[in-house]
Chains A and B, each alone.
Chain A
């Protein structure tokens, strides 16, 4: 079955420190895409970063990087230098077939950044 698992319901991090949010995925497809989205309390989902299954380098976008370990089927999000505004829900997501339209979401991790 195609599935995204996020095992951390909640995480705390001190401001200015780095934090890793875990994500494992399950798919039998060879070609797939992995995403991370942020959902602030306002409710809108915001795209953060994308990793294709054939990309050899880990994706980075500013303070966000995706630690992609294909053999372990993990796609962890690393946020460096956390800021108070990073407090939100974070969702890992996957398109099992990069030609498809059905993005699958994990249950999310709520991140709390402490001052």
Chain B
């Protein structure tokens, strides 16, 4: 079945460490996204990529980095510069605007 796979589902990190969240899709979608969700809040866009080897900052990109070397993969690195990284991270893809987003099951990051 086609879909989006995020890993790990749960991740614990010590302060000062970088961590990379994986996102893989087999939907053949050009566009991929990373969102952050905090308790009681909606989703906020971190980064998005319209096509391979290209990506743009979203609304809250500071402290995060991404790469898009393959169409299927869009990993997110949460760096030590991110001041409040504990959150639920959702990866998504779409065929392009204004199409709906297809989401993975999310990765919950906790900084100890």
Contact = CB atoms under 8 A, between A and B. Distances in A.
Nearest to A95: B98
Interface stretch (A11-19, A44-52, A76-84): A44-52
A35 B105 contact: no
- Provide the main secondary structure of the chain B interface: strand
A34 to B, nearest CB: 10
Given A101-B31, A101-B48, A103-B101, A43 B88 contact: yes
Contacts of A98: 97-98
A47 B100 contact: yes
A44 B104 contact: yes
- Provide the main secondary structure of the chain A interface: loop
Question: Taking each of B33, B35, B45, B100, which has the highest tally of chain A beta carbons within 10 Å of its own beta carbon?
Answer: B100
Q: How large is the interface on A (under 10, 10 to 19, 20 to 34, 35 or more residues)?
A: 20 to 34
A102 interface: yes
A25 interface: no
A78 B103 CA distance: 23
A44 B103 contact: yes
A37 B102 CA distance: 10
A66 to B, nearest CB: 13
Contacts of A43: 88, 90, 105-106, 108
Contacts of A46: 103
28 contacts: A4-B42, A43-B88, A44-B104, A45-B90, A45-B92, A45-B101, A45-B103, A46-B103, A47-B100, A91-B42, A93-B42, A97-B97, A98-B97, A99-B97, A101-B31, A101-B33, A101-B48, A101-B97, A102-B58, A102-B59, A103-B101, A105-B35, A105-B42, A107-B40, A107-B41, A107-B42, A108-B40, A108-B42
Interface of B: 31, 33, 35, 40-45, 48, 50, 56, 58-59, 88, 90, 92, 97-98, 100-106, 108
